A and B are shown apart, each in its own frame.
Chain A
Amino acid sequence: MSASVAPRAGYAWIKRFGLPAMLGAVLFVLVVLPTAFMFIGALMSAGMADPAAHFTLAKLQTVYTTLPYLRALGYTLAMAGGVAALACFVGIALAWLVARTDVPRKRLLEMCMIAPLFLSPFVGGLAWLILGSPKAGLLNVLARDLFATKGAAINVVSTTGIVCVMALYFVPYAYLTISSSLRNMDPALEEASYLNGAGVFATALRVTLPVLRPSLISAFFFIFVLAAGTFSIPAVLGGASRVPFLAVIVFETTAAYPIDYGKSAAVGTVLFWISVMGVAFYRYASRAANRFVTVTARGFSMRLVKLRGWRWPAVGAIGVYVLLAIVLPYLALIYTALTRYMTSSFSKASYSLDNVRWAADSPEVIESIWNTLLVGVVSPTLCLALAVVLAYAIRRMKIRFGRTLDYLTMFPIAIPGIVLGTGIFWTYVTTPVYGTIWILVLAFVASYLPFAYRIGDTALMQIEKSLEEASALCGASHRGTLWRITVPLIRPALLSGWVMVFIFSVREISAAILLASPSNEVLSTISWNYLDYGDQQKAAVLGLVQTLILISGVLAGQFVFRVRLTQAV
């Protein structure tokens, strides 16, 4: 009797105290401490290590009440709102074309639609700086040469330009959210509209759009939060045009004299509150979306809108997006990488393979490639492992404090990378982790845990509980059931999540830029260093190397692990 009771008592203890305590401790270290340090930092007069530092409300008072920061707040809200609106507008149009019409080559188009996700926004920003600078941008020079235009045809270093470039890289998020809702929507609603004599556009406007409204709102706020916390594109494009953007100020106050860590943290707290509000709206809209979007058990065949003569123009419209988001930026990067100095005249450019040779021979670059691969493999693996344990413990084992743990796990979604980077810097600067590659792994695991957790949790919800119960009835422990039954069943979703976190980790710059050290330089940080030092050629080469790594990861996911990335986000 004692032999059977002891394990039960042990299990009960683990479920009651052990597992919640362990998971709580992990989340405390990953999420709570860096956030706390950010808030403490905002209350300090100087860096926490400075012997003259003392507690003060001055930084918070300056940031929350003075005009320059309120102006930056206004700009950030307006720009993030603009990015989200534009990305959703394009996303819904593209999703409708692919999901609801007979546009040809759908699988290829769908891959094209999400392809910008596999590119670093920082690299995209750099490419658009080369393409769209008002006077010497390649596109402007081309427009002047071909059409004798006067002035700048496009200007990416303006507020509007920055919003448009950012929107390009957020369209996939809108596309994936909306296309998923479109696919799950019962076509009977649209059929009824057609039967009542409404045309294609009237149906789209009066039936499809209202049904999609909640998921559209959820996509809007999701992109809004991500855009508000994005540092790389506004920093690359807006640095010289004085566009005040909070995420850039967080970085600049730690990078330009007089360096002010307190102010940086205080600005970080503003971004934090923006994100918290954005996430609250997002979650509310997501719940509403689940309530409104009609998912029925019965099978249905989707009636596709026949575009007839508009089929190829529709492909052309999608092609324009692909051209702007992928083709042109990469042509610009390749051109830049092959020149000795930047010039907007193709014929007068001084071409050379020196930059490519430099990248191949440079120990710094080779080491950063290894570091990038290391964080690219370790971060998603740890992230997914932790996410599965959390999701299983909270949803299946129903451990104590499950709701708190669930909330803490999703919490980093409200912390922009640059803010989390500040918190992690101060949390770990005195530990052996600082200066090593592992601090980046920690930052990336914390940043992307919500994505991994959401994927794991959704996959778990779709697994019939009876399968696990059968395993338990056969005497398997929770651990055995998780490993032998649950994980194999949710493997496709986990692999998709792994590839997504791999992509995010390889291209991440916001947190990494504050945590870079001699021993942990990754491609994104040394690329930033070269750009900051005015060497666009080397930054472009490094951006291309980073893209090759991302594409290799995506192809491996697609063809080796049979991952459907369109289902992962």
Chain B
Amino acid sequence: MTKLTGWNSTLARRSVLGGLAGIGAGLVHVGTGQAQTGAPSAGITEGLIKAAKAEGALTYYHTSDLGLTAKWTAAFTKKFGIPVKNIRGPSYPLYDRWMNEERVGKHIADIVQISDPTLFPVAQKEGFIATYIPAGTTAIPDSLKVEGVWYAMNIDFMGIVYNTQETTADEVKQLTSGGWNAMTDPRWHGRYATTTPAAGGSTYTYWYMFMEEYKAQYGEAFVRKLAEHKPTIYSSKVLAFDRLVAGEFAISDMATESTMTELYTKGAPVRFFFPDPCPASPLVQIVSAHAPKPNGARLFQEWTLSEDGQLEWLKYTSVLPSRNDVTDPRKAARKDWFGEPWYADPTSLYLKYLKDPAFADPAKPLIPIWNKIFGYRSE
């Protein structure tokens, strides 16, 4: 049963907003950036478009899929006549590279998009993030923004994926009915691939959920059972999905809905589902304080968070838009995977970490522990 319809969904509001209720007000912005006050901008005005056009091509540092981002930014170019140069990298190295460039005064990026907003406070402290409140801010829940600093464009869910040609009906039944613990079954020994938490914001989130947030329910014991499978470990989760589709593995985790639906559309032999609790990873975006094209950067941020920009994104991939008034048209029409009997939306999203100070610890202490458990790059 499909229950999630944008942010109007009762379930979504409960799972996301309610999930934040346990965090004290004083902690809300710790580790995620200091919210700014002020009125939202006037939005996309003729003046802004004209000024942005006069500046020329934008440079967009992003962590989202290369191909679909190119299509999406091409729509921006078509609409406003401003070319966009897309530079893709995994969140952490991309952020680090941008910080290095800003620190030495090489201002290249106009807009930066990553999947871990807890990295932004350092950049904000050093004055690298422009204070800008776009007009679309009112449609974005508080949990998905730090006002004037960063804004989530959308949220991607992470679940389990299996190759239909490498699994039996019995195995699928066991897997899909057993929640996350189903992955610990010995039958997946040598048939499971996973990704290091060091790969990026979303992969760190995934492991953090088990090892910290739901320590009592899962914790290291659960992670150790997964490690006993002797999984093949990838430095990027999409590499694991690629090999899974090729038939190298039967199951993998951190199956992001955007990538899974793309593979489904291509006809790849994959099925995916989202056990409870479902880790979710936002794509968050800032305007660089020293953007070489400041007006273009603001126009892009406005468009990204507008209904038009979010619907454009949904033409190429399936994610939950950050605006509460935007819904994937395919979902409404029950098209593609939304119409498949095996597909179900996640029922409880894990997003609390976005404003969790422990998660924001730049040392990411969980990584060496995970490395040790899996015998991966142990130091």
Does B bind A?
A: yes
Interface residues of A (CB under 8 A from B): 47, 49-51, 62, 66, 68, 133-136, 141, 239-242, 244, 252, 254-259, 340-345, 350, 358, 362, 364, 429-430, 434-435, 517-518, 529-536, 538
B79 to chain A, nearest CB (A): 17
CB neighbours of B241 from chain A (8 A): 534
A304 CA to B64 CA in the complex, in Å? 61
Contact A429 B106 (CB under 8 A): yes
Chain B 208-249 interface residues, beta-carbon cutoff 8 Å to A = 232-243, 245-249
> Shortest beta-carbon distance, B314 to chain A, in Å?
21
Whether B19 sits at the interface, judged by CB under 8 Å, is: no
Majority secondary structure, A binding face = loop
Residue of A whose beta carbon sits closest to that of B60: A518
Which residues of A have CB within 8 Å of B268? 340-341, 343
- CA of A343 to CA of B378, assembled, Å: 33
Q: Are B66 and A533 in contact (CB under 8 A)?
A: yes
Contacts of A255 in B (CB 8 A): 90, 93, 235
- Specify which chain A residues have a CB less than 8 angstroms from the CB of B200 in the assembled complex: 257
Which residues of the partner chain B approach A532 to less than 8 Å between Cβ atoms? 90, 235-236, 239
User: What chain B residues lie within 8 Å of A259 (beta carbons)?
Assistant: 92-93, 96
Q: Closest residue to B86 on the A side, CB-wise?
A: A364
Query: Secondary structure of the B side of the interface?
Result: mixed
Shortest beta-carbon distance from B267 to chain A in Å? 5
Residues of A within 8 A of B198 (CB): 256-258
Partner among B59, B87, B197, B247 whose Cβ is within 8 Å of the Cβ of A135: B247
* Residues in chain A near residue B199, CB distance under 8 A: 256-257
B residues in contact with A47, CB < 8 Å: 96, 100
Least distance between B201 CB and chain A CB atoms (Å): 9
Q: A358-B67, A362-B70, A533-B66 are in contact. List 6 more A-B contacts (CB 8 A).
A: A47-B100, A136-B248, A341-B268, A343-B247, A532-B239, A538-B67
Q: How far is the CA of A51 from the CA of B123 in the complex (A)?
A: 12
In the bound assembly, the distance between CA atoms of A484 and B234 in angstroms comes to 57
Q: B367 in the interface, Cβ–Cβ < 8 Å? A: yes
Chain B window 33-47, contacts with chain A (Cβ cutoff 8 Å), 1 for yes, 0 for no: 000000000000000
Give the contacts of B233-277 with A (CB-CB under 8 A). Answer: 233-243, 245-249, 259, 263, 266-269
Q: Is the CB of A136 within 8 A of B246?
A: yes
B50 at the interface (CB under 8 A from A): no
The contact sample of 29 A-B pairs, CB cut-off 8 A, is: A49-B100, A135-B247, A136-B243, A136-B246, A141-B247, A240-B234, A240-B243, A241-B232, A242-B233, A242-B375, A242-B377, A252-B377, A255-B93, A256-B90, A256-B199, A257-B200, A258-B362, A259-B93, A342-B242, A342-B243, A343-B247, A345-B247, A358-B67, A364-B70, A429-B106, A430-B105, A518-B85, A529-B88, A532-B90
- B108 in the interface (beta carbon within 8 A): yes
Going nearest first, the 9 A-B pairs with the smallest beta carbon separation are A534-B238, A49-B103, A136-B247, A257-B92, A136-B246, A534-B242, A342-B246, A256-B198, A136-B248
Contact status A342-B245, CB under 8 Å: yes
Residues of A within 8 A of B236 (CB): 532-534
* Interface assignment of B376: CB less than 8 Å from any CB of chain A: yes
Bound-state CA distance A389–B83 (Å) is 43
Q: Contact string, B87-130, partner A, CB cutoff 8 A, digits 1/0?
A: 11110110010011101111010000000000000000010000
Selected contact of A133 from candidates B96, B245, B248, B363, CB within 8 Å: B248
Partner of B367, one of A50, A242, A257, A538: A257
Within the complex, what minimum Cβ distance (angstroms) separates A53 from chain B?
10
Q: Which of B89, B240, B247 has the most CB of A within 10 A?
A: B247
Q: Of all chain A residues, which has the CB nearest B193?
A: A240
Contacts of B108 in A (CB 8 A): 435, 517-518
Question: How far in angstroms is the closest Cβ of chain A from B355?
Answer: 20
**Measured CA separation A57–B208 after assembly (Å):** 32
Is there a chain A Cβ closer than 8 Å to B327's Cβ? no
Q: Complex formed: what's the CA distance from A136 to B243 in Å?
A: 8
Measured between C-beta atoms, what is the minimum distance from B241 to chain A in Å? Answer: 6
Q: Which residues of chain B come closer than 8 Å to A535, judged between CB atoms?
A: 66-67, 238, 242
B205 at the A interface (CB under 8 A) = no
B59, B242, B263, B379: the one contacting A518 at CB < 8 Å is B59
A343 and B245 in contact, given A49-B103, A350-B266, A435-B106 (Cβ under 8 angstroms): yes
Q: How far is the CA of A343 from the CA of B259 in the complex (A)?
A: 17
Give complex CA distance A136, B240 in Å.
Answer: 13
Query: Is B187 on the interface with A (CB-CB < 8 A)?
Result: no
Q: B235 — which chain A residues lie within 8 A by C-beta?
A: 239-240, 252, 255-256, 532
B88 CB contacts on chain A under 8 angstroms: 529, 533
Contact for B87 among A240, A242, A518, CB less than 8 A: A518
